[in-house]
Amino acid sequence: MSALIQPSQSIQAVAPQTVHIFLGDRSYPIAIGTQLLDNPATWADLPRAATALIVTNTTVGPLYAQRLKTALQSHYATIHTVVLPDGEAFKTWETLNLIFDALLGHGCDRKTVLFALGGGVVGDMTGFAAASYMRGVPFVQVPTTLLAQVDSSVGGKTAINHPLGKNMVGAFYQPCKVVCDLDTLTTLPPRELSAGLAEVIKYGPIADMALLDWLDAHMDALRAGDVAALAHAVQRSCEIKAHVVGQDEREAGLRAILNFGHTFGHAIEAGMGYGAWLHGEGVGSGMVMAAHLSQRLGLIDMALVQRLTQLIQRAGLPTVGAVLDATDNAGRYLQLMRVDKKAEAGEIKFVLIGPPGSATVRGAPDALVRAVVDACCS
């Protein structure tokens, strides 16, 4: 992960909004706005405990860990912090154990509340640790990247990577609350902001064509860090994801559509080595490939493929896939995609557009997938 930009002057305040995920006794709010991190009231409705543990990384920690700790001091008598190495390459058992070492070393009990302060890697690992420690302790997502705010912090997916596949070891475990402070996005490097935009764009063709229209009109403002535009993007993304997760928490069916572009994208991440491409970069080019596959299967026309490709390019994301094997690139993609969580009995399941504004999950002939990979990676 590239180094974060030091905070500049305060951005314009945005009135806080709340999106709710309804999951019975596991329901929780997603708070979206500015000036949330430092406000003790943000944290007032969390479970009572004597101890809290902030999990962050070497990049985000110096910027925000002390501020969060100060805001939490009126709620917890003791607050510990564990700082993880930064980057997708460290989303491993070894790094996960650093969280367990801190919990056990400080004698934390089953009421201890964990706070995931960082991007998707920190959120996924903190959630997995919370799901596992003493068979489950409460945790809070405090995402500081756009990608985490619009996607990975919401919905309770927690995991670490395996060399053969991304996010293949984990658990479904919901947070108590998600706090999306838009101020933290002012320190996000342009490459990381673009990576987050991939997870915003994906919601358009599979769920909300009006959002795709809005993104066409506001992409320049989003890349410039306009807080009002970012607030709308985060809120609408969370609304769509909350609606889907509320119907299918454990991805038995509908929730799989949120992986649009991810089957190809995860293959790129694993094949290139975790961290070489950011997750959103893999998803960006993965959406292009998934759109081409949708078109070749007769689900959409080429005009939508071209429109989506241009929008992804305007977001600062790659639209040409990575070459994973110089001798048989498509074969390497197929090999890696067969490890995807949606695969069934070795058959790869793709999230495809069709009709526009909706999605379907289905297989495709290897020969057709090969043709798409060859066309989109040259």
Catalytic site residue 20?
no
Query: Alpha-carbon distance 288 to 283, whole Å?
Result: 9
Q: Which of 251, 269, 292, 349 is catalytic?
A: 251
Catalytic site residue 167?
no
Query: Alpha-carbon distance 74 to 41, whole Å?
Result: 10
Catalytic site residue 262?
yes
Catalytic site residue 88?
no
Catalytic site residue 157?
yes
Catalytic site residue 162?
no
For 161-184, b where at least 16 C-beta lie within 10 A, e where not — what string?
A: beeebbbbebebbbbbbbbbbbbb
> How is residue 366 written in tokens?
């290897």
Q: Which of 88, 192, 199, 269 is catalytic?
A: 199
Q: Which of 232, 241, 292, 349 is catalytic?
A: 241
Catalytic site residue 349?
no
Rounded-to-10 torsion of CA 129, 135, 138, 141: 30
Query: Alpha-carbon distance 196 to 182, whole Å?
Result: 13
Q: Which of 279, 292, 332, 349 is catalytic?
A: 279
Catalytic site residue 202?
no
C-alpha neighbours within 13 Å on the C-beta side of residue 56: 22
Among left, alpha and beta (phi > 0; psi -120 to 50; other), residue 161 is beta
Q: Which of 266, 292, 332, 349 is catalytic?
A: 266
Q: Which of 157, 166, 202, 236 is catalytic?
A: 157
Catalytic site residue 199?
yes
Give the DSSP letter string of 236-250: HHHHHHHHHHHH-TT
Catalytic site residue 255?
yes
3-state secondary structure 181-204: EHHHHHHCCHHHHHHHHHHHHCHH
Residues 6+ apart with CB under 8 A from 4: 59, 60, 63, 187, 188, 189, 192
Q: Which of 262, 296, 332, 349 is catalytic?
A: 262
Query: Alpha-carbon distance 246 to 250, whole Å?
Result: 10
Q: Which of 166, 259, 296, 332 is catalytic?
A: 259
Give the DSSP letter string of 209-237: HHHHHHHHHHHHHHHTT-HHHHHHHHHHH
Q: Which residues are tagged catalytic?
A: 135, 157, 199, 241, 251, 255, 259, 262, 266, 279
